[in-house]
Amino acid sequence: MTPRSHPPTPPGWFVTGTDTGVGKTVVACALAEELRARHIDVGVMKPIETGVGGQGPLDAMALAEAAGADDALERICPVQLALPAAPSAAAAAEGSEITLPRIRAAFDALRARHECMIVEGAGGLLVPIRERDSMADLARELGLPLLIVARGRLGTINHTLLTLEVAAARGLPVAGVILSHGPIPLSSADAANLSVLRGLLGDKLLGEIPPFDPGEGAPAGAIALDRLLASGTRVETR
């Protein structure tokens, strides 16, 4: 492995989103590929995947491929549920319950094998996992700073600021925000909206993923990796 200079690699990131379908997997895969290109050994996890059909947990499989991780899929994705619903609802539909220690055990085993970890949440921060536990509690349990993925469309200012407020209220460190524009070019209203959001985010904005064609992914360099690596585990205050 190629020796690297300081700063040391952070322990990883918990990739959350302002919603489902905003581009978390796109960003997590792009980040894994960028880290690999720098000879950083990255492990991945999609601890809870819902809507899992006969093809298996597709997000977890995409993450594993992007990272080149040969870990068991049952560790990368220890909770696989068929119903495409919030984790607590999908688990209840199968008569099961999701517990944080079970996910923590799989995470610890992976963390011990890799230099850093990329963990993709399900939905957004307040999506329920079990009783009063939410994705925010899982992020805290794993001790990773948040990388927040947001849409590039109308509505995203409110969703992004709400997510930052929840992170701050819970004392969760935020490494930064990535905006994914989605498959359709931005309208002039979207573009005007985004310029406002860019101003509000300032140096928290660590990249934007422009529209890409089906079957492709984020262009190389879309994530400001040096700034992300330097962000460490600082806690944002508002």
Ligand X SMILES: Nc1ncnc2c1ncn2[C@@H]1O[C@H](COP(=O)(O)OP(=O)(O)OP(=O)(O)O)[C@@H](O)[C@H]1O
Residue numbers at the binding site for Mg ion (CB under 5 A): 24-25, 59
User: Residue 35 — left, alpha, or beta (φ > 0 → left; ψ -120 to 50 → alpha)?
Assistant: alpha
Number of chain positions touching ligand X (CB under 6 A): 17
Paired strand residues for 133? 130
Q: Which residue has the tokens 């992004």?
A: 160
Q: Please, is 41 exposed, middle or buried when counting C-beta atoms within 10 Å of its C-beta (0-12, 13-18, 19+)?
A: middle
**71, two tokens:** 């870990």
**81, two tokens:** 């549920």
Restricting to residues 55-84, name those near ligand X by CB under 6 A.
59
Nearer to ligand X, 26 or 148 (CB): 26
Decide if residue 87 touches ligand X (CB under 6 A): no
Decide if residue 22 touches ligand X (CB under 6 A): yes
Nearer to ligand X, 46 or 115 (CB): 46
Decide if residue 10 touches ligand X (CB under 6 A): no
Which residues contact residue 115 at a Cβ distance below 8 angstroms, ignoring those fewer than 6 apart?
A: 9, 40, 41, 42
Q: Which stretch binds ligand X (CB under 6 A): 71-79, 127-135, 153-161, 176-184?
A: 176-184
**64, two tokens:** 């594993």
Query: What span, in angstroms and rounded, lies between the C-alpha atoms of 103 and 76?
Result: 10
Decide if residue 26 touches ligand X (CB under 6 A): yes
Decide if residue 52 touches ligand X (CB under 6 A): no
Q: Torsions phi, psi of 60, nearest 5?
A: -60, -40
Decide if residue 211 touches ligand X (CB under 6 A): yes
Q: Please, what is the minimum distance in Å from the beta carbon of residue 127 to Mg ion? A: 12
Decide if residue 159 touches ligand X (CB under 6 A): no
Q: Please choose which of Mg ion, ligand X, none residue 99 contacts, taking the beta carbon within 5 to 8 angstroms, the exact cut-off set by kind.
A: none
Active site residue: 27, 44, 46, 62, which one?
Answer: 46
Nearer to ligand X, 203 or 213 (CB): 213
> Pseudo-torsion of CA 212, 218, 210, 51, nearest 10°?
70
Q: Please, what is the minimum distance in Å from the beta carbon of residue 200 to ligand X? A: 21
* Termini Cα distance of the chain: 40
Decide if residue 53 touches ligand X (CB under 6 A): no
Among residues 23, 89, 79, which one has the least CA distance to residue 48?
79
Active site residue 46: yes
Nearer to ligand X, 115 or 134 (CB): 134
Nearer to ligand X, 24 or 111 (CB): 24
Paired strand residues for 149? 17, 178
Residues with a known catalytic role: 46
**Residues contributing to the site for ligand X (CB under 6 A):** 17, 20-26, 59, 123, 180-183, 209, 211-212
